[in-house]
Amino acid sequence: MAQIFHPSINTIAKASIFGAVFIAAAAGWFIWEFSRSPYVTQAYVPREQPVQFSHEHHVAGLGIDCRYCHTTVEKSSFAGLPATKTCMSCHSQVWTNAALLQPVRDSWKSGQPIKWTRVHDLADFVHFPHDVHVNRGVGCTSCHGQVNEMPLMWKTKSLQMSWCLECHRNPAPHLREKWVTDKETKKSKYDYDIAFKMDWHPPLDQSERGKLLMEKYKINTYQLTNCSMCHY
């Protein structure tokens, strides 16, 4: 029987199969990396706002606490955005004629709220309660990064489900102790501000402390990884 294909076709066929597997793996890797890139997640991309508000100036420079503007962060799922009245509590006295703050003055005169651009904008089917997190010692910087170093606001995390689950499977590294010992009286006192401190750094034994805090705060990782915890 006459041979239809040249023997070299066997080599070409094997090489093409190997190449197809390699190309498929490379394509999968590219899609995986692309879906987590700043181009998709918008992480580290400063967002334009009606007023170019600088957290660096207000938080680090002036020492304003997060809760002064985000008033409901401890008692509601939504942290809250500052009303124009909050801005004018200072800017009716300082920078009163600054062109940068014209949108604030216009809002104050018209009664129309400033339309801020959401930076950390979750999908409508995701429930994220701020109060639950901060009241269990999860600091602002765990999710929002060092906002005290941001002249303009940007995301430092992807906010993708894989990122949320990474923390929900092991929240210990992010938990802060709310009860501290007063250096002068040597007595324990409740630290209401611990979650909002920008200069907090985990202690060397955070791994062990975090596990103890999980027990203290009654944090159950099985519940945290249940779909209904964030989607309902």
Token pair in block for residue 186: 């040597």
Token pair in block for residue 16: 């093409």
pLDDT of 9 over the 80 cut = no
Report the b/e string of 13-36 with b at 16+ CB within 10 A: eeeeeeeeeeeeeeeeeeeeeeee
Check residue 155 and give its pLDDT: 95
For residues 164 and 182, the model is more confident at 164
pLDDT of 183 over the 80 cut = no
133 band by pLDDT with thresholds 50, 70 and 90 = very high
**Region 168-185 average pLDDT:** 90
**Region 26-52 average pLDDT:** 85
- Please count the other Cβ atoms lying within 10 Å of the Cβ belonging to residue 185: 8
User: Which pLDDT tens digit goes with each residue over 64-111?
Assistant: 999 999 999 999 999 999 999 999 999 999 999 999 999 999 999 999
Check residue 222 and give its pLDDT: 93
- CA–CA separation, 26 and 216 (whole Å): 45
Q: Give the Å distances, CA to CA, from 162 to 26, 122, 138, 165.
A: 21, 14, 18, 5
Q: H helices of 5-129, where?
A: 8-35, 38-41, 55, 66-69, 84-91, 102-110
Q: Give the Å distances, CA to CA, from 31 to 27, 35, 39, 40.
A: 6, 6, 12, 11
Check residue 31 and give its pLDDT: 78
Check residue 53 and give its pLDDT: 95
Q: Running DSSP on this structure, what letter comes out for residue 56? A: I
6 band by pLDDT with thresholds 50, 70 and 90 = low
**Region 19-45 average pLDDT:** 81
Percentage, residues of the chain above pLDDT 90: 75
Q: At what angle do helices 102-110 and 84-91 cross, to 10 degrees?
A: 120
**Region 150-156 average pLDDT:** 95
Q: Which residues have C-beta within 8 Å of that of residue 197, sequence separation ≥ 6?
A: 139
Token pair in block for residue 40: 């998709």
pLDDT of 28 over the 90 cut = no
As a whole number, the mean pLDDT across the chain is 90
Check residue 23 and give its pLDDT: 80
